[in-house]
Amino acid sequence: MLGAGPAALCIVAELVEKGLLVTALASHPPNKPWPNTYGIWAEELESLGLASLLGHRWTNTVSYFGDGIGEKGQVPTLHNFDYGLFDQTALQNSLLLRCGDLNWNVETAMEIRPVEMNTEVVCSSGNVYQARVVIDASGHRSRFIRRPNHGPVAQQAAYGVVGRFNFPPVEKEQFVLMDFRPDHLNKKQLREPPSFLYAMDFGEGLFFVEETSLACFPPMELTQLKERLHKRLSHRGVKIEEIIHEEHCLFPMNLPLPDRKQPLLAFGGSASMVHPASGYMVGALLRRAPTLANTLAEAILLEPALGSADIAKLGWNVLWDRELVQRHRLYQFGLRRLMSFDEHLLRSFFATFFRLPRKDWSSFLANTLPLPRLIVVMLKLFTISSWKVKIGMLFGAF
């Protein structure tokens, strides 16, 4: 196993519980705090019985898709659905606890190669490890996982600040998923790729504000996002008084699916598990790890003759079964369309999307809709969209 991020810990915890002997290699100790804060809709965690892992939870959850002008342009879309942020330490510790007394080797993998029926990992220290199958959970930048080249990969970029402000940037106890109001932008900026504000009240005078670009190639520059964030805030009379933490975010949204014939398995960012429509993944890791671990345990414990290639094949087949591949393709198609939308069309699209029944939009974002239902929801969305959005969805906007 390579990695000690959320993906590695989720799958290692399951594998250890299934009685498998795991050798874990990660370039840092597994209890080193993760650099990112992870958000999730609360119901997704509740369905896994893990809601206690939330460090913050908001009931007042809104977005803004108006033009920001006049009273009508300022009306929020109410989500009426709780959103939360993981308590990072609690999530990490609860997964590590499930890994028992597993010894984590602080090692950086440099090369992975087949050796007879097994796989060998060569580390920068010179140490070499062998396993019946290797799972690469080293994130979306993995050098080891083969995937087809489908051209430029769109990235989500964001610049955020946790800090104190002269005036609350969002309402008390509020979470803002997407504030797309564009009234602070000039004509030139309105023609540039759109970005939105993701923001929340942490209480005790602390807020998080983040200017986010959904997905772009080339990715939006962090300096541009920072400039936009300041402009957006000052337009509303808000100034940052104290920066406690800055977040720089950049990760791929439509990384092609890995080649599922390779003898190396992957999980998490390296397995392209980020949801192409939302950029979220942690819920999927927690949901999909048990199934993958079951398959691997059966293969490894019950079939001693299977080699790395056979075990990896079984793993790929459950991790990316036909249904999940089809769903992923639909999401990627949707994202490509959205990337062609200007800010006006994008606002119109999202305003319509959140008019869908809550069960539909939330399951769409969590990727828990079975394929036929996903198609029905997408058709429903198409039906209730304006003709401009319909044309954009069919042919892309120009």
Ligand X SMILES: Cc1cc2nc3c(=O)[nH]c(=O)nc-3n(C[C@H](O)[C@H](O)[C@H](O)COP(=O)(O)OP(=O)(O)OC[C@H]3O[C@@H](n4cnc5c(N)ncnc54)[C@H](O)[C@@H]3O)c2cc1C
CB of 109 to ligand X, least distance (A): 4
Pick the closer one to ligand X by CB: 108 or 317: 108
Site map 289..328 versus ligand X, x via CB under 6 A: ----------------------------------------
109 binds ligand X, rule: CB under 6 A: yes
Q: Is residue 28 a contact residue for ligand X (CB under 6 A)?
A: yes
Q: Does 74 contact ligand X by CB under 6 A?
A: no
Q: Which is nearer to ligand X, 258 or 268 (CB)?
A: 268
Task: By CB under 6 A, name the one of 4, 131, 293, 314 that touches ligand X.
Answer: 4
Encoded amino acid at 302, one letter:
L
User: 63: how many CB neighbours lie within 10 A of its CB?
Assistant: 24
Whole-Å CA distances, 4 to 27, 105, 196: 8, 10, 31
C-beta closer to ligand X: residue 306 or 318: 318
The minimum distance between CB 384 and ligand X, in angstroms, equals: 28
Residue least distant from ligand X (Cβ):
5
Give the three-state DSSP class for 36: coil
The DSSP secondary structure of 175-205, one letter per residue, reads: EEEEE---TT--HHHHHSPP-EEEEEEEETT
Q: Based on CB atoms, which residue is closest to ligand X, 185 or 365?
A: 365
Whose Cβ is closer to ligand X: residue 108's or residue 234's? 108
The helix or strand, by DSSP H or E, that contains position 218, with its residue range, turns out to be: none
User: Alpha-carbon distance 235 to 26, whole Å?
Assistant: 45
Q: How far is Cα of residue 119 from the mean position of the Cα atoms in its chain?
A: 29
One-letter identity of residue 350: F
Residue 282 is a binding residue for ligand X (CB under 6 A): yes
Question: Closest approach of Cβ 217 to ligand X, in Å?
Answer: 17
Of the two residues 66 and 160, which places its CB atom closer to ligand X in the complex? 160
Coil, strand or helix at 285: helix
> Is 207:170 a contact under the CB 8 Å cutoff?
yes
Tokens of 156: 């989500």
Does 257 participate in binding ligand X (rule CB under 6 A)? no
Mark residues 258-277: x for contact with ligand X by CB under 6 A, - for none: ----------xx----x---
Longest dimension (CA), the chain: 70
**Cα–Cα distance measured from residue 233 to residue 188, given in angstroms and rounded to the nearest whole number:** 19
CB 20, min distance to ligand X, A: 19
Report how far apart the first and last C-alpha atoms of the chain are (Å, whole number). Answer: 44
Judging by beta carbons within 10 Å of its beta carbon (0-12, 13-18, 19+), is residue 100 exposed, middle or buried?
A: exposed
- How big is the site for ligand X, counted in residues (CB under 6 A)? 29
- Our finding on whether 185 is near ligand X (CB under 6 A) is no
Task: Indicate whether 8 belongs to the interface with ligand X (CB under 6 A).
Answer: yes
Residues that bind ligand X (CB under 6 A): 2-8, 25-28, 36, 38-39, 108-109, 137-139, 247, 249, 251, 268-269, 274, 279-282
